Structure 1
Amino acid sequence: MGSSYLDWKEGLARLDGDEALYRRQLGQFMLEQREAAVQVAGALRKHEDETARHLVHELRGQAVQLGARPLASAAFELEMAIRAGAETAAVMGRFDRMLTDTLLAMASYRSF
């Protein structure tokens, strides 16, 4: 059940070992954030940088709480690129791939 994308032990520890709550929070994250990369990319295309940065920042905080540190790291990298007004294509691609892999890891955890 281990994954390089999701440290479920860390996520559970943040919730005092309440596995039912952790599973619910994973499900909520999966539902709310499954289209996050599309939403961020859309905001960036519309030059709504602050909206894009806010979406990424919110996801990053949730990812940390759930033990998805690699996703949080990719989100931080994207957030900093947006804030700096830098080119975001490469970091957006990494963020999108990391989100997809993390969602798969979450679904796998929830199926056990």
Structure 2
Amino acid sequence: MIHHLVLFQVKPDVDEEKIEWMMRETRIQLLKIPEVLNLRCGKRVDESMEWPFFLSVEVESLDKLSIYMNDPIHVKFVEQVIKPHIVKRLALDYEMEPGKDVRYS
């Protein structure tokens, strides 16, 4: 199982209402992708946090992560929801099964 976590720094003009919209769109759009087993997104609770928005997705394997990343729904989501509102992103991928060799997942 692969956990894909992405943290976002938003543009200065992105307010709380826009982040709420981004959260709704994340759920509406990305849950349509069959490879997505679990999806979470959220906004910071502490204004001093550097990354005000995050999303995380769980998929079965690295192959499924690649399919998810290249899915037309995901590509459209990134172009329409993410890119217009962020200045920086940090993507992290983790294997969630102890002892599993990620090369074979």
Structure 1 length normalisation: TM-score?
A: 0.34
Higher helix share: 1
Which of 1 and 2 has higher RCO (CA within 8 Å, sep 6+)?
Answer: 2
Q: Which structure is higher in strand share?
A: 2
